[in-house]
Structure 1
């Protein structure tokens, strides 16, 4: 089914902001606790590994996006470079994995912003509100994301400054770096990697970026570099202020760091920042999933009515309405703690396909050495191996469901 093209309204600054807003999200307020539980001070090594994997994946994505600047991201790249089935596996992994992430981000927002007992209703309201923002145009998405990024970075700057005041003169960060072993470090890398995964949002919105061959690669690299700096600063402040055990035992380590420093006045600011970060991540997820769903529907890999583009606002409105409904149901009905590993499985599959697709690009299209794509693909498989078994099994089952659906759809077309 054919559908109208989306409008190119995003410049370099808009694309960078959307990428940063997607990466510096709720993960910075929550991901360090399980990472510390897995590796202690070794989470610093895990963070470096996660950043390296993210860099490899980001450069593969940027190299592909410069050649295929349309909605869909790796779904499109897989189809064009490797074949329809590769593209479908990447797109399906992204859509189902990130749909679970949407519900998780909504619940994180509600945990910080809602009164006790009202978390799920508030989470549903957040989903519907941000879906409405996306519905009325991508420039509104970029404008709201810009405001959210400012609030989040301000809150994190205050938190890091507070943590710095309670650090000992000589930080014992080198102690216990290997206490969690290689597996613990890799598990922490797997947990922290997904905090960086927001750069895919820039590529999936490639049909709405001006001068995409230049804008997308630059925006991806700049946004990733900014996120790495922010996460490194927060990690050092947390470990220096609370210690690895303190971080591992905290449900809200950034807020606890502020309180432990004696800056009680800043705790509400951090809470607002956490809520805003969750909204920023959710906003970017909704936009990215909608565009990938649009691309899959255009090719017949999802129902054709999802390919509709609003005649005035030039957004995939059917896809975004369907997403809002599904996420709202998940928020109300499902405990998503166990779905985190499932979401991670889907995203790693997505980036594995991206690296394989970029590896096969001809010399004229190359921007980065093939070694980076090899490292990225192997690292995706290694990080999958660190995920909880239940999450891997769930991911395989849902992936199989998608394969069956497409097999039937192809035969009936």
Structure 2
């Protein structure tokens, strides 16, 4: 049986550690709608435990501030009105200091609640969901921080002590899988999100999948071959996106005096040609695969083959729309809003990234984003 108080402490401490290098001004910036200010993340994850654990289940708890439900509710219609996402960067108040006080207040109450004795199975499930929810926001925090600092004209480093995990290119032939029926979805003990259920059978034609992610050097060949200027490789929506936004390289790439540089957590550096290409939109991933005469794998092909290659350096675009599995059912109340309401207009990503929280990745995990988004650590694995 897991120690809930210890798990709570560790997940909260990791969020604090992620924020430790930040200056006060870094906490309040929202450059685009998809990126939330770091102070909102630390407030929202605190609100989750206050709203779903303390207020309904801890009789001694006194709400910290009645306005915070409006400020830190993200998308839960069941819980009430909320600040629209585009206005999160306009919240100069509550201050960073106020939110840190809020965080400590809720933490102290949570430790008192967990010290009271055994919790019910329902509350235990909510707590574990809360831990996983905060781990999701830890990754969002890191990617949002990178976008905030990477769009600062001075390209400041987040941390000079950050070390990106090494990625070795296997250079092996494509992995071949036979046609047949494969089992897909989560099964067994431990936590999973509702969108990983239910486990079911899918029929796959024979296919091949690369053991390696596409590297910066390989993607540069696409750029140098005018890939961004050849409509034949793009979906109509992707071609419109490229031209409307004048896109000619992955996010964070900068051509300086004829040499490519890349913004990293250590600041602006010369492009590492051996690293996987990251911060790629689905549109770009599709176009690159088309240029190579290949395609992206479906999420089912990816899951069927994933035990045969290394993954986890970056999220990998698939050719699958984000849809419910057979038998998917939303939980009652606000918790049912967690995943199901987003199952339209998005593409599935598989794997994990170098900023995914420890123990938060598994082969059945289904991430999802709109096809034009690039601020996450998203990359390309080819199939044919």
TM-score by length of 1: 0.28
Bigger Rg, structure 1 or 2: 2
Going by fraction, where is helix more abundant, 1 or 2?
1
Identify the structure with bigger relative contact order (alpha carbons < 8 Å, sequence gap 6+).
1
TM-score by length of 2: 0.29
